[in-house]
């Protein structure tokens, strides 16, 4: 049979397949989310996220060293405080759990690039992402507290802040506060396209951040919508966001692609706790090959258009990259 065009020609042999690979990945684009808890001597496995732990500031070093050894130097810090109140004061306290973790990480592991989640839900007694007014989150009153939180993180050593609350106008409020206090060079990675998702269940267990009543659908996005996500991303870029995030990743790869086309800043995708838990559960039952699924899901996010990938599998993916199994 005569055929001039044979696409399979470029699939013969690993060397050739890598040469013509369209999606390139590097450990420098990975971010590992870490949970830091009040107390000492804590290395506490998260039941719904096997292999993931809550650490205290004195034990987090072992994990940070493991990440650095794997080639991962970017870490997103999430705090789990002992005290919670209606205003989430632990989020912006100078001696808060994240602030202390940042100072220690900066002193002991200066090669770690420190990113912080800026939100109120882990710190409020009601579990919502802002100040309440008659059981509704008061958007504009919350902005001041988010800005204070971001500033306190920068003062404690955060290299980047990442607001995840989904309040309108929070990027502008944070940018203004950081700039007014001399942190003009601190980037903002905005959770701009964050859906109200069932994939967050294990995270809320890990961080103790489930709302005490109701849900977050009045501020997180309806998962039926895509144009709304583009609008959110464009607004945040206008307000000063330096990086736009899509969350979750796996079920929203269409949004990663659409946002990549809509904005001219880097795009991040967060492979969230539910995605991690499903892979772990399937692998534990012998239904899937965990390592191959890790590689495939990561590649799919990059192929869709993300420049940065947040994942609990960051160390494993970095190792697979070094081994040439992915990227």
**pLDDT reading at 324 higher than 80:** yes
CATH topology of domain 22-322: TIM Barrel (3.20.20)
pLDDT for position 207: 67
Provide mean pLDDT across the span 103-114: 98
3-state SS string over 207-252?
HCCCCCCCCCCCCCECCCCCHHHHHHHHHHHHHCCCEEEEECCHHH
Token pair belonging to 221: 């996005």
- Mean pLDDT along residues 159-188: 96
Mean pLDDT of 205-234: 86
User: Is residue 18 annotated as a catalytic residue, yes or no?
Assistant: no
pLDDT band (50, 70, 90) for residue 217: confident
pLDDT of residue 214: 64
Per-residue pLDDT, 306: 96
CA distance 136 to 83: 22
Output the pLDDT for position 16.
87
Confirm whether 106 is a catalytic residue.
no
**CB-facing half-sphere around the CA of 188: CA atoms within 13 A:** 30
Quote the pLDDT of residue 239: 97
Of 247, 280, 292, 322, which one is the catalytic site residue?
247
Residues 6 or more apart whose Cβ sits within 8 Å of residue 194: 164, 166, 220, 221, 245, 246, 247
Find residue 37's DSSP bridge partners: 80
Average pLDDT of the chain?
94
What per-residue confidence (pLDDT) applies to 206?
Answer: 73
Q: What confidence tens digit (pLDDT) does each residue in 267-318 have? A: 999 999 999 999 999 999 999 999 999 999 999 999 999 999 999 999 999 9
Helix (H, G, I), strand (E, B) or coil at 36: strand
Cα Rg, the chain, nearest whole Å? 20
124-153 pLDDT tens trace: 988 888 889 888 899 999 999 999 999 999
82-97 pLDDT per residue, tens? 999 989 999 999 999 9
Annotated catalytic residue, options 148, 194, 217, 322:
194
Residue 177: closest CA among 193, 155, 194, 157: 155
The residue extents of the domains of the chain are: 22-322
Q: Tokens 């204070």 sit at which residue?
A: 148
């Amino acid at each position: 049979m005569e055929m001039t065009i044979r696409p399979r020609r470029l699939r013969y042999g690993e060397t050739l397949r890598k040469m013509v690979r369209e999606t390139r990945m590097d450990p420098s684009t990975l971010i590992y989310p870490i949970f830091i808890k009040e107390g000492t001597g804590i290395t506490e496995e998260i039941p719904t996220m096997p292999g993931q732990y809550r650490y205290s500031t004195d034990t987090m070093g072992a994990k940070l060293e493991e990440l650095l050894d794997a080639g991962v130097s970017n870490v997103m810090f999430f705090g789990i405080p002992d005290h919670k109140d209606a205003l989430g004061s632990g989020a912006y306290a100078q001696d808060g759990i994240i602030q202390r973790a940042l100072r220690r990480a900066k002193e002991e592991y200066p090669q770690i690039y420190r990113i912080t989640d800026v939100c109120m839900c882990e710190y409020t007694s009601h579990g919502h992402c802002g100040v309440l007014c008659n059981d509704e989150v008061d958007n504009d009153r919350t902005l001041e507290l988010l800005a204070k939180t971001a500033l306190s993180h920068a003062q404690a050593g955060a290299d980047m802040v990442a607001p995840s609350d989904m309040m309108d106008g929070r990027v502008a409020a944070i940018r203004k506060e950081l700039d007014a206090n001399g942190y003009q060079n601190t980037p903002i990675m905005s959770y701009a396209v964050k859906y109200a998702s069932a994939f967050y269940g294990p995270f809320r267990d890990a961080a103790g951040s489930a709302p005490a009543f109701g849900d977050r659908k009045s501020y997180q996005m309806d998962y039926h919508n895509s144009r709304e996500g583009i609008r959110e991303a464009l607004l945040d870029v206008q307000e000063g966001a330096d990086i736009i995030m899509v969350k979750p990743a796996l079920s929203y790869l269409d949004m990663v692609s659409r946002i990549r086309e809509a904005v001219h800043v880097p795009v991040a995708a967060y492979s969230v706790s539910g995605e991690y838990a499903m892979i772990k559960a399937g692998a534990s039952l012998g239904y899937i090959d965990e390592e191959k699924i890790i590689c495939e899901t990561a590649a799919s996010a990059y192929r869709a258009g993300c420049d940065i990938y947040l994942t609990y599998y960051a160390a494993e993916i970095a190792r697979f990259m070094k081994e040439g199994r992915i990227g």
